Structure 1
Amino acid sequence: MTDTYMEIQEELQLMQRELQQRLAKEELYAYEVEFGQELLAMAKTDVKNKLLLHDIREDLKDVERALWKIEIGMYGICEETGQRMTLRQLKSMPTARTVHECFYEKVKTI
């Protein structure tokens, strides 16, 4: 593994820890809200919490998939084309699965 991949791996591990902490915090909050608020307010909060929890879980899956790919030597290979993504692309979007995701991120930030 190159130093650059090690740097990306460390960033992904940090993201993983932060997402796990956020997920635990939000799950605890969702549990407390369920028992501490009125029904109508709870319904609105419940929908927001479920969406937030879903997004956190999806982000965590992306990070864990990238870490697994590093572990098995498949990191940075486009799942659609089989092309190797550039280090620049991977640094800008370490969880990218395809070259198209990297392109989308580039367009989105312009």
Structure 2
Amino acid sequence: MDQTFNDLYVEIVAMKKDLEEHLEKNQLSAHVKQLAKEELSDINNTLEKWNNGYYGICEETGNQLPVELLSFQPTVRSFREVNHLMKYLKKPVFPL
């Protein structure tokens, strides 16, 4: 489990660096730039939680979020957010 968390930390830091580089180059449309800034904010909040020892803890219940879930979405904040993501991900790309 420690290695999984170490791998997640490396991934989160890499995500932050990548977003910062793209924002620095200023070659993004206004809409994509806004999305990138929001994602960067989520990453910074995640790293702050990591540094304070609260990474992987649901902000609403205080329970540990499953490692599998954190591996899928390292910046997830709560079980409610997970449920929202799962509903979105279950929608078909091409409705019948």
Q: TM bucket by the smaller chain? A: 0.7 to 0.9
From 51, 54, 57, the equivalent of 1:71 is 51
How far the C-alpha of 1:50 sits from its partner, in A, is 3.1
Question: 1:96 maps to which residue?
Answer: 76
Give the TM-score taking structure 2 as reference length.
0.82
Q: Is residue 56 of structure 2 the alignment partner of residue 81 of structure 1?
A: no
Stretches of structure 1 that go unaligned for 5 or more consecutive residues are: 31-48
How far the C-alpha of 1:108 sits from its partner, in A, is 2.3
Alignment of 1:2-41 (within 5 A): 2-26=2-26, 29=27
How far the C-alpha of 1:86 sits from its partner, in A, is 0.7
How far the C-alpha of 1:53 sits from its partner, in A, is 2.0
| Deviation digits for residues 18-62 of structure 1 (CA, Å, limit 9, x no counterpart) | 100111112xx47xxxxxxxxxxxxxxxxxx33322211110010
| Deviation digits for residues 37-94 of structure 1 (CA, Å, limit 9, x no counterpart) | xxxxxxxxxxxx3332221111001011111211111001111111110101111110
Between the aligned partners of 1:8 and 1:103, the Cα distance in structure 2 is 21
Stretches of structure 2 that go unaligned for 5 or more consecutive residues are: 91-96
Give the % identical residues: 29
Q: Is residue 87 of structure 2 the alignment partner of residue 107 of structure 1?
A: yes
- Bigger relative contact order, structure 1 or 2, given CA contacts below 8 A and separation 6+? 1
User: Per residue, is there more helix in 1 or in 2?
Assistant: 1
